Structure 1
Amino acid sequence: MNIAVSPSHQQRGIGTRLLETVIDKMQESGAKGLEVGTGTFGYQLTFYQRQGFRVDCIDKGFFLKNYPEPIFENGVQHKDMLRLTLEFSGDTSCQRTV
């Protein structure tokens, strides 16, 4: 699912409140964590990192494969997606297998 705040309403804490509500509801439901995906650069990445999300993996070519039109930010094309996780259990060790 995508969530966004209209550019004309950004920088007012709305996105932070939305995300905090999602985090609270997920914790209350018993979830062990939350995963989000975002571009590899830009304000969105730091937004999630401020909330405690940490980079988990890179989905290479995600924006190239899944969007019909290129997405640019500050003159740079988004190609890869970073997957970030917020672990509710406190366990942040890497447990992926290849």
Structure 2
Amino acid sequence: MSIAVQPAHQKSGYGTALLKWIVEFFRKSGASQLEVGTGTFGYQLAFYQRHGFRVTSIDHDFFVNNYPEPIFEDGIQLFDMLRLALKYPSKVA
């Protein structure tokens, strides 16, 4: 699924609150990790990294192959998607 915060409401804490809720929900559900995909540059990448996500792979030409129109971020066309994961600590018995 795709999630986003309206540009007028970005940098107001809504995205952080949403992500923290998602992280905690799946932690309580017993997930071992949470995975996201984003562009190879921009504030979204830094956002996920600030919350503990680490790059695991690159999906080359993802945005070219999966969207009918080119996608631009700050005037630069997105081509590749970075896959990131947040691994939950394993439970100790």
Q: Quickly name the TM-score band, shorter chain normalised.
A: over 0.9
Aligned length: 90
For residues 21-36 of structure 1, the aligned pairs below 5 Å read: 21-36=21-36
Structure 1: where are the runs of 5+ without partners? 91-98
CA RMSD of aligned residues (A): 0.8
Q: TM-score with structure 2 length normalisation? A: 0.94
Deviation, structure 1 residue 15: 0.2
Tell me the alpha carbon deviations over residues 39-74 of structure 1, each in whole angstroms, 9 at most, x when there is no partner.
000000000000000000000000000001101111
Structure-2 separation of matches of 1:88 and 1:56: 15
Aligned residue number for residue 77 of structure 2: 77
For residues 54-73 of structure 1, the aligned pairs below 5 Å read: 54-73=54-73
Deviation, structure 1 residue 75: 1.4
Q: TM-score with structure 1 length normalisation? A: 0.90
Structure 2: where are the runs of 5+ without partners? none
